[in-house]
Amino acid sequence: MSTRTLISPAQLARPRGKRLYWVVFGLVVALFTVVFLGPMYWMVSSGFKNTQEAVQTPPTLVPESFEPDNYSQAWNVMDLAGLLGNTLFYAFGALAFQLVFDVAAAYSLSKLRPVFGKAILGLMLATLMIPATVLVVPQYLTVLDVPIFERNLLNTPWAIWLPSVTNAFNIFLLKRFFDSIPRELLDAAAMDGASPMRTLRSIVLPISRPILGVVSIFAIVGVWKDFLWPMLTLPDPAKQTLNVGIYSLSTGVPVNVLIAALTMASLPTLIIFLIFQRNIMSGLTAGGLKG
Amino acid sequence: MSAPSLTPSKAASARHAQPPVDGPPQRGGAFARSLKRNLTAHGFLIGAVLCFAFFSWYPMVREFFLAFQKTDQGEVSWVGLENLETVFNDPAFWQAWRNTALFTVLALVFGFAVPFVVAIVINELRHGKGYLRLLVYLPVMLPPVASVLLFKYLYDPGYGLLNEVFGFFGLPEQQWLQDPDLSMLSVVIASTWMNMGGAALIYLAALQGIPGELYEAAELDGAGLLRKIWHVTIPQTRLILSLMLLMQIIATMQVFVEPFLLTGGAGPEGSTTTVVYLIYQYAFNFNNYGAAAALGLLLLVLLAGVSAAYVKLSRAEDE
């Protein structure tokens, strides 16, 4: 990259500058590695210690005992397979609902422009101004007894899926992207007799793959990381998410088994991140600020 | 940056003058056509609108009602300001606000300054940027329960690693989560570790947009490193910095998960009771939804001011 930054290239090119640069570089890399990977190393390695070693003082940096059995024990005792299955079910269900409803809504607001469209968008964006935690109580009461339908959604996946659609930020990101699709393209399709649905499917969606990727990742990670809402709406241990299930069992198992469970719970999102790094980071900086 | 572009072209977004997409040319009058177009468009909207109506707009309205109502065995009655009174008279009320303010201030000192410094450092390095960016963002991807319980393990006064590291540098061991004077700081450190990645990457993107000539000009005027940061970097990123500041205030004032998981919520001598934890307690431990809503309303009013400033600033950025 040729952009110039705080420190001038001339300064860096001098022998003294070069030496200093490499020293600083080494220190920074070492410090960052220790600070950010250190705790994760500690997590993975402690998951292999036996019960005694995991709680001994002083702690050992390199495990002296080796008990991969902790991982299988955590898997069985905490029913991680069940929790993982639940979480995947909620996350991908929420993703499907968001992709269908939010994409359709953003498309309509951006290209079909119904009457009151602006007002509806305004009302949606207004929800971003309300602190989420303040809404938790009335939302919870709504889930207990949904008006008109008079249904109790507690302990059902609907309690996760339907509220996840009210993601004004995703609608905003999608609409902004759709706004930038040249109108000639859509006009041409309309001339050829394509219905709005057909236009959405054959023209808008294929162009929008980058933003759909970003929105999908946010949707999945959002459900994966959520804690308070699933704790309240899915109290049944058989229906809990990974986060809530591990939390509620955390005091009942030995530390080393708990840590092994944490390691396994962290893997899925870490893998998603390593694969989709670029999309996630660009989504973050492109849409991160324009609430 | 080789990141896929999310905004194809600014030029194509002269959108306000565009008429909406009509279907294929149709028979019938203008009214019938307009009706059909609107029906289609609202058909696309209906799913999202219903979800918003039930799970966002209705709860928003309900929050206001709840705050002034009381539910006794299914019977709802208006009680005026009684809920607010209950909340104000709670001995934990002021403590919760003090703790929340303390958390916000500490979180800003760490969560605001640290990512900015980190972004500047990464931006100055000529190698390994990708790796460092990845590292900083990694914790953001962990499920919060995993990071928080991991920190609880690190903080443990007996077998925790942190005291061991302190001992290595000759520093006294600490009762991180058990000492009322330290507990909030410990929560903030864990929270910063978990959440700073996003801010750091946003700052980094902003730093890359600063024209290099500005630094050259500053050098010609004989500015040193710190003066360049003060007179070029900060003014050039001022808008993003202030937006992030407001966003962080909004987020940190609502802190709940970290103290809830690290110290059980209240913490030693109530030292980590936050406003949202108090709301949680009213609603889910004491079944007092009215008090929870009243306290929520106070938080909402306070944060509405911050949000309004945010919206105003982000509009300014768009122009």
pLDDT tens, position by position, A191-212: 888 888 888 888 888 888 888 8
Residue A180 and residue B161: Cβ atoms within 8 Å? no
**Same domain? A62 vs A201:** no
Supply φ then ψ for residue B77, to 5 degrees.
-140, 155
Alpha-helical (H) ranges within chain B are 30-52, 58-67, 82-89, 92-124, 129-137, 144-155, 161-168, 183-208, 212-220, 225-228, 234-236, 238-253, 257-263, 275-280, 289-318
Residue A104 and residue B3: Cβ atoms within 8 Å? no
State the best of B45, B69, B70, B233 to mutate against chain A, taking most chain A CBs within 10 Å: B45
Average per-residue pLDDT in chain B?
A: 81
Look at residue B17 and tell me whether its pLDDT is greater than 60: no
In a domain, A46, yes or no: yes
Q: Which of A177-186, B131-140, B141-150, B309-318 has the lowest mean pLDDT?
A: B309-318
pLDDT at A127: 85
pLDDT at B243: 81
Q: Which of A30-44, A50-64, A138-152 has the lowest mean pLDDT?
A: A50-64
Mean pLDDT, range B63-74, rounded to an integer: 81
Overall number of domains in chain A: 2
pLDDT at B179: 81
Look at residue B22 and tell me whether its pLDDT is greater than 70: no
Write down which residue in A53, A72, A91 finishes a domain: A72
- Using the Cβ of A196 and the Cβ atoms of chain B, whether some distance falls under 8 Å is answered with yes
- Using the Cβ of A283 and the Cβ atoms of chain B, whether some distance falls under 8 Å is answered with yes
**Same domain? A128 vs A268:** yes
**Same domain? A27 vs A108:** no
- Using the Cβ of A176 and the Cβ atoms of chain B, whether some distance falls under 8 Å is answered with yes
Look at residue B10 and tell me whether its pLDDT is greater than 70: no
Domains of chain B, each with CATH number or no CATH: 28-67 (no CATH), 85-318 (1.10.3720.10)
Contacts of A16 (CB under 8 A, 6+ apart): none
Residue B7 and residue A147: Cβ atoms within 8 Å? no
Q: How far is B160 from chain A (nearest CA, A)?
A: 7
Q: Which of A48-52, A83-87, B7-11, B89-93 has the lowest mean pLDDT?
A: B7-11
**Same domain? A65 vs A201:** no
pLDDT at B317: 65
**Same domain? A141 vs A157:** yes
pLDDT at B303: 87
Residue A137 and residue B283: Cβ atoms within 8 Å? yes
Q: Which residue of B has its CA nearest to A212?
A: B6
Interface of B with A in 71-90 (CB under 8 A): none
Question: Measured between alpha carbons, how far is B201 from B207 in angstroms, rounded to an integer?
Answer: 10
**pLDDT higher for B6 or A229?**
A229
**Same domain? A81 vs A219:** yes
Tell me the chain A residues in contact with residue B143 when contact means C-beta distances shorter than 8 Å.
224-225, 242-243, 265-266, 269
From the list B5, B55, B159, the residue facing A163 with the nearest CB is: B55
**Structure tokens of B273?**
């009771």
pLDDT at B82: 78
At residue B162 the predicted structure's pLDDT band, cuts being 50, 70 and 90, is: confident
**Same domain? A44 vs A89:** no
In a domain, A3, yes or no: no
**Same domain? A142 vs A34:** no
pLDDT at A275: 86
pLDDT at B215: 86
From the list B24, B47, B158, the residue facing A190 with the nearest CB is: B24
From the list A97, A138, A269, the residue facing B141 with the nearest CB is: A269
**pLDDT higher for B23 or B12?**
B23
Look at residue A95 and tell me whether its pLDDT is greater than 90: yes
Which residue range forms the structural domain that includes residue A123? 74-287
Interface ipTM:
0.82
Residue A147 and residue B58: Cβ atoms within 8 Å? yes
**pLDDT higher for B286 or B82?**
B286
In a domain, A4, yes or no: no
**Same domain? A20 vs A137:** no
pLDDT at B25: 52
**Same domain? A63 vs A79:** no
**Same domain? A33 vs A171:** no
Look at residue A290 and tell me whether its pLDDT is greater than 50: no
**Same domain? A135 vs A48:** no
Residue A58: cis peptide before it, omega within 30 degrees of 0 = yes
In a domain, A113, yes or no: yes
Mean pLDDT, range A211-225, rounded to an integer: 85
Q: Which residues pair with B72 in a beta bridge?
A: B75
